[in-house]
Amino acid sequence: MTATTTTTVTTTSGGHCSKSYRRGGGCGGGVMLIASILVLSVHYGHAQDFGYDGEKGPSHWGEQYNSCTGKHQSPININSLDVKKVNLPPLVFQGFNVAPKETNLTNNGHTVVVTMDSEVTPTVSGGPLAGMYEYSQLHFHWGDNDTFGSEDMIDNHRFPMELHIVFFKQEYKNARTALNHPDGLTVLAFFYEIAPVDNPMYDEFIALLGNVTGSHLSARFETPPSLKDLLAEDLLHYYTYDGSLTTPPCSEVVTWIDFKEPILLSHAQVQAFRALEDEEGHPLTHNFRPVQPLGDRVVLYNTDELIKQVELDEEHPPEPEGVDTNKLDTHKSASEEAKSPKDPSNRKQPRNDAVSILPGTTRWTLLIVALTLISTIVQC
Ligand SMILES: *[C@@H]1O[C@H](CO)[C@@H](O)[C@H](O)[C@H]1NC(C)=O
Ligand SMILES: *[C@@H]1O[C@H](CO)[C@@H](O)[C@H](O)[C@H]1NC(C)=O
Ligand SMILES: *[C@@H]1O[C@H](CO)[C@@H](O)[C@H](O)[C@H]1NC(C)=O
Ligand SMILES: [Zn+2]
């Protein structure tokens, strides 16, 4: 997945360093601020610079982003015979069937991103989530042909495309600050499968792709679709595990929720995505990261079949391995339980490179702030 947010950089009390300098305070702080700003802009440059082939490709991401070599990375292959079956509290979707006031489609050079401005911001809670998560954006991953393109795999099967709907935990205010928290984001992921006929819910969407072929182009929906219009029907059966962003900085802050039922699109509809261009004007024919080691993680599979089984077999209630329905009463326990017994801290500390997703304008702002501070310090 890719996270994109907008950030405002504010500077306070610029030119008062001589006073603080005599007291031995202000200038040092300025130097540290400059240092961190420079680090951030360096990382920012590289985050925009990643790609899916050669020197910029996934095997090189770890050179600039330590998190990309972490132990709890995404995507993964989910082995359906090796998941822990659970019956989590229901996922609660709010605002999913409300058509937004305004919806934009933007080619960011890596994928196409949908942002919306809605009277009711969509939120998701429940299931494996502790707390309320707010919609940030959605985007897609695809491959050169219909035989691959999804990021997560199910039983070594790749789907032609995958949808990522990114939500940040509301208490962290926005997607950028959420990257500093191990439970900062959740991504609702849907796989696509090829159907013989067009999916009419995607008609305007696919048509608009033709307006954003070039990198950094945007187009506005005439009739914004609600989130629900774009999804599959069955929202009960899903896999869930703790992982990372699938693009730099690969922060390990994502509760993944991968729905089992795919969304259907025709070949021509999926093909339309492959006509988009990257920042160098080359066709963006594939933008998925290879699967990463599962490591000590356990993937949960949410289903109601456990309950049905109990109902059918009252005399001999089954005791499926690792499933303790009492523990599922509290929101987080099931997924916490699923974490490694070997490594109680489990999730890595998020890194500073999280801020590398700052948008282009912010980079210049940071540069100007840095130069201003340098001149301030020179005066000191
Ligand atoms: C959509 O794009 C327009 C024009 O660039 C911008 O003013 C608006 O804020 C965008 N809205 C959303 C929801 O992204
Ligand atoms: C899909 O692309 C892969 C990799 O380029 C290739 O090996 C395979 O033959 C292609 N499959 C079809 C059906 O075109
Ligand atoms: C998309 O492109 C078509 C054809 O060039 C044009 O008629 C239409 O106004 C464009 N729509 C948007 C939302 O930019
Ligand atoms: Zn993604």
**If you measure from the C-alpha of residue 145 to the centroid of ligand 2, how many angstroms do you get, rounded to a whole number?**
6
d(CA 177, CA 171): 10
**If you measure from the C-alpha of residue 225 to the centroid of ligand 3, how many angstroms do you get, rounded to a whole number?**
17
Question: CA 162, 166, 172 angle in degrees (round to 5)?
Answer: 160
Which of 114, 220, 227 best tests ligand 1's pocket when mutated (most atoms within 8 Å of CB)? 220
Atom in ligand 2 nearest the alpha carbon of residue 145: 1
Ligand 3 binding site (Cβ under 6 Å of any ligand atom): 211, 219-220
Per-residue pLDDT of the chain (380 residues; tens, 9 = 90+): 554 443 333 333 333 333 333 333 333 444 444 434 333 333 333 356 899 999 999 999 999 999 999 999 999 999 999 999 999 999 999 999 999 999 999 999 999 999 999 999 999 999 999 999 999 999 999 999 999 999 999 999 999 999 999 999 999 999 999 999 999 999 999 999 999 999 999 999 999 999 999 999 999 999 999 999 999 999 999 999 999 999 999 999 999 999 999 999 999 999 999 999 999 999 999 999 999 999 999 999 999 987 666 666 665 555 544 433 333 333 333 444 343 333 334 433 333 333 334 444 555 555 555 555 555 444 43
Atom in ligand 1 nearest the alpha carbon of residue 115: 14
**If you measure from the C-alpha of residue 185 to the centroid of ligand 2, how many angstroms do you get, rounded to a whole number?**
34
DSSP result, 151-177: SSEETTBPPSEEEEEEEEEGGG-SHHH
Region class of 173: left (phi > 0), else alpha (psi between -120 and 50), else beta: left
CATH superfamily of the domain spanning 65-302: Alpha carbonic anhydrase (3.10.200.10)
The per-residue pLDDT for 22 is 33
Q: Could you write out the three-class secondary structure of 320-331?
A: CCCCCHHHHHCC
Ligand 1 binding site (Cβ under 6 Å of any ligand atom): 102, 104, 115-117, 218, 220
* Among protein residues, the one whose CA lies closest to atom 4 of ligand 2: 144
| Token output for 84 | 């822990």
d(CA 296, CA 341): 9
Give the start-to-end residue ranges of the domains of the chain: 65-302
Which of 102, 203, 208, 211 best tests ligand 3's pocket when mutated (most atoms within 8 Å of CB)? 211
**Count of all residues that appear for the chain in the document:** 380
The residues annotated with a catalytic role in the active site are 110
> What is the number of other CB atoms lying within 10 angstroms of the CB of residue 258?
24
**If you measure from the C-alpha of residue 267 to the centroid of ligand 2, how many angstroms do you get, rounded to a whole number?**
15
The per-residue pLDDT for 335 is 42
